[in-house]
Amino acid sequence: MTTSANREQHTVSRRNFLKTTAAATALAAPYYVPASVFGANSPSNRINVGCIGVGNQGLPNLQRFLKQGDCQVVAVCDVNRGSDGYKEPGDVRGRDPARQEVERYYAEQKSVGRYNGCDAYNDFRELLARDDIDAVMLAPPDHWHEPMTIAAAAAGKDIYCEKPLGLTIGGQQKMIEAVRKHRRILQTGSHERSNPLVRQACELVRSGAIGDVKRVLAHVGRHNKVGPGPGWRPMPVPEGFDYDLWLGPASEAPYHEDRCLYNFRFHYDYAGGQITNFGAHSIDMAQWGLGMDDTGPTHVEHIYADYLPKGSLFNAATHTFFRCRYANGAVLECFTAEPSVRCIFEGTEGLVRIDNQGQNFFATPRGIWPKELTGKEKYHSGDDHVRNFLDCVRSRSEPAAPVEVGHRSATICHLGNIAIGLQAKLKWDHKSEHFVGDRSDDANSLLNRPVREWWQA
Ligand SMILES: NC(=O)c1ccc[n+]([C@@H]2O[C@H](COP(=O)([O-])OP(=O)(O)OC[C@H]3O[C@@H](n4cnc5c(N)ncnc54)[C@H](O)[C@@H]3O)[C@@H](O)[C@H]2O)c1
């Protein structure tokens, strides 16, 4: 039987091997190292990956890992055995479809009729207990990010964790602690951090090309689902769906299909509404362009929020507006608007607008419009973000969106939700990460959430 001590030893020696190989290769080729250099056929050279939460976003993420020749997806995990009804009725996802996708892909790659090397789990703790898994991709609902990250870090896995980093500010601080204590690599899923266009746009802003930035507008999309209204009735839990493990640390609640797959984002027990969903992209860009990655605003103010009728299943605000102010006077306004425009920086001498999930950006005055920023219409930075993560797993260097960056960006989303929930103007001490002044007791009580007794890490 494998003890935790020899598991640790095995993991460490395997990691050292990966790192040594990367370091040796880096002398000749400092940036991207194709799998062939490592000997793709050598299992000891591959980064073994387990994918946890293979739904709407987890499946495309899994496909991004499959495409990287120097890693091998050896396991998938989902509390849903397999069903349709994710974002759209025809979206079939879950652990069985995900395993089939892995097996189909590798069978095609190896030109063999069958491939059986991917295991499927219901309980992520079984996946994390495996010695041979180096890294995990986490794309469960937001309420799972913190417990899974902490457990994965303790199990010695590197982590690609979907955005927003966590459900609460306090929870995210615990994630940082776990990642740093166990010396893991964590890439937050705000993939625009690996998008060269967004990088250029943010560098342009920070270079002073548009003068002093006075205001940044960060857009979040409105609800794209309505859900059942007041008087909705619970439904029986479908076969093959482990609802208790889906809820995990969240409060006990009657099952309804619109509570779970994809739609969890519209419920405050599992997510922060569209503010965290989109803000982890647009506010993340704002933070990057403002050069505020290791700090945050000093004030946050509720401006406006609208909700579905009381008693509806979805309780997150449908339309929102909040304002933050930084110590240097810059203002960040985050509101419900067309999400294909992500972020607009208004400077004293010009403007930079990042569009289309970072596929484009525009800058005025036209003289500073970068020349090479056209014609990449189908580009999605998710692939580069996964590649960056795997490179950092090898080199042990910081990824494009490390845990602290994910934390600071998601913190602003949580601050917005707290101010909106309290309908208040609040003072935030970004050093101690606590509210101070009026209503601070109320606001500080929302930095963490109670965990259901059923769930024990
Ligand atoms: N980076 C991006 O652009 C992007 C886009 C969409 C979603 N996301 C993020 O991805 C995450 C998932 O969102 P989604 O839209 O894919 O939701 P989803 O509901 O479609 O997928 C989540 C999956 O996790 C599974 N799951 C729930 N609890 C689990 C557990 N304990 N163990 C294993 N699996 C579990 C669910 O059954 C489901 O299949 C969210 O945090 C979301 O913010 C990121």
C-alpha count within 13 angstroms, C-beta hemisphere, residue 282: 31
The whole-number average pLDDT for the span 55-73 is 97
Does the structure show a pLDDT above 50 at 218? Answer: yes
Please state the atom number of ligand 1 nearest to the C-alpha of residue 57. Answer: 16
The pLDDT of residue 368 is 63
DSSP states of 63-132 as a string?
HHHHT-TTEEEEEEE-SB-SBS-SSSTT--BSHHHHHHHHHHHHHHHTT-S-----EEESSHHHHHT-TT
Please state the atom number of ligand 1 nearest to the C-alpha of residue 164. Answer: 43
pLDDT digits (tens, 9 = 90+) for 78-118: 999 999 989 998 999 999 999 999 999 999 987 767 888 99
CA of 54 to the centre of ligand 1 (A): 7
The pLDDT of residue 43 is 65
164, 165, 169, 170: CA torsion to nearest 10: 150
One-letter amino acid for residue 178 of the chain: A
The pLDDT of residue 9 is 39
d(CA 149, CA 164): 13
* Token pair recorded at residue 344: 């607009």
* Nearest alpha carbon to residue 79 among 50, 121, 136, 142: 121
d(CA 454, CA 457): 10
Check if the beta carbon of residue 166 is closer than 8 Å to that of residue 410.
yes
Pairing of strands 341-347, 213-220: antiparallel
CA of 86 to the centre of ligand 1 (A): 10
Pairing of strands 341-347, 351-355: antiparallel
CA of 76 to the centre of ligand 1 (A): 13
The pLDDT of residue 457 is 63
H and E: helices and strands count for the chain? 13, 15
Q: Quick check: CB of 444 below 6 Å from ligand 1?
A: no
pLDDT digits (tens, 9 = 90+) for 314-336: 999 999 999 999 999 999 999 99
CA of 366 to the centre of ligand 1 (A): 40
Residue nearest to atom 8 of ligand 1 (CA): 57
Q: How are strands ordered across the β-sheet holding 425-429?
A: 360-364, 351-355, 341-347, 213-220, 331-336, 319-325, 299-306, 425-429, 434-436
pTM of the model: 0.92
Residue 375: CB atoms within 10 A of its CB come to 8
Q: Quick check: CB of 53 below 6 Å from ligand 1?
A: yes
Q: Mutate which of 64, 77, 79, 172 to test ligand 1's pocket (most atoms within 8 Å of Cβ)?
A: 79
Q: Quick check: CB of 142 below 6 Å from ligand 1?
A: yes
Residue for token pair 């120097």 = 70
Residue nearest to atom 10 of ligand 1 (CA): 139
CA of 67 to the centre of ligand 1 (A): 20
Does the structure show a pLDDT above 70 at 15? Answer: no
Q: Three-class SS of residue 403?
A: helix
Please state the atom number of ligand 1 nearest to the C-alpha of residue 263. Answer: 19
pLDDT digits (tens, 9 = 90+) for 238-263: 999 999 999 999 999 999 999 999 99
Check if the beta carbon of residue 299 is closer than 8 Å to that of residue 430.
no
Residue nearest to atom 17 of ligand 1 (CA): 262
Task: Give the CA angle between residues 47, 51, 55 to the nearest 5°.
Answer: 150
Check if the beta carbon of residue 401 is closer than 8 Å to that of residue 385.
yes
Check if the beta carbon of residue 137 is closer than 8 Å to that of residue 61.
yes
Q: Mutate which of 52, 76, 78 to test ligand 1's pocket (most atoms within 8 Å of Cβ)?
A: 78
Q: Quick check: CB of 140 below 6 Å from ligand 1?
A: yes
* Token pair recorded at residue 380: 């999605």
The whole-number average pLDDT for the span 55-68 is 98
Q: Quick check: CB of 245 below 6 Å from ligand 1?
A: yes
Q: Quick check: CB of 262 below 6 Å from ligand 1?
A: yes
- Residue 373: burial class (beta carbons within 10 Å; 0-12, 13-18, 19+): middle
Measure Cα distances from 364 to 195, 213, 214, 283, 340 in Å.
21, 13, 15, 21, 19
208, 357, 173, 245: CA torsion to nearest 10: 180
Q: Quick check: CB of 75 below 6 Å from ligand 1?
A: no
Q: Quick check: CB of 321 below 6 Å from ligand 1?
A: no
Please state the atom number of ligand 1 nearest to the C-alpha of residue 94. Answer: 39
d(CA 329, CA 106): 53
Q: Quick check: CB of 76 below 6 Å from ligand 1?
A: no
The phi, psi pair for 137, rounded to 5°, reads -105, 120
Confidence of residue 358 (pLDDT cuts 50, 70, 90): low
The pLDDT of residue 377 is 58
Alpha helices, H only, 129-195: 145-154, 169-181
Q: Quick check: CB of 193 below 6 Å from ligand 1?
A: no
d(CA 164, CA 299): 21
Instruction: Report the chain's mean pLDDT, rounded to a whole number.
Output: 89
One-letter amino acid for residue 443 of the chain: A
pLDDT digits (tens, 9 = 90+) for 394-436: 999 999 999 999 999 999 999 999 999 999 999 999 999 999 9
Please state the atom number of ligand 1 nearest to the C-alpha of residue 142. Answer: 41
Please state the atom number of ligand 1 nearest to the C-alpha of residue 140. Answer: 24
CA of 4 to the centre of ligand 1 (A): 29
CA of 195 to the centre of ligand 1 (A): 22
CA of 263 to the centre of ligand 1 (A): 10
Does the structure show a pLDDT above 70 at 374? Answer: no
Residue nearest to atom 11 of ligand 1 (CA): 139
* Token pair recorded at residue 111: 């030109």
Q: Quick check: CB of 80 below 6 Å from ligand 1?
A: yes
DSSP state of 55: S
Residue 58: CB atoms within 10 A of its CB come to 25
Q: Quick check: CB of 261 below 6 Å from ligand 1?
A: yes
Contact partners, residue 406, CB within 8 Å, separation at least 6: 161, 163, 164, 165, 172, 186, 188, 190, 280, 284
Does the structure show a pLDDT above 70 at 369? Answer: no
d(CA 285, CA 119): 37
Q: Quick check: CB of 248 below 6 Å from ligand 1?
A: yes
d(CA 71, CA 118): 13
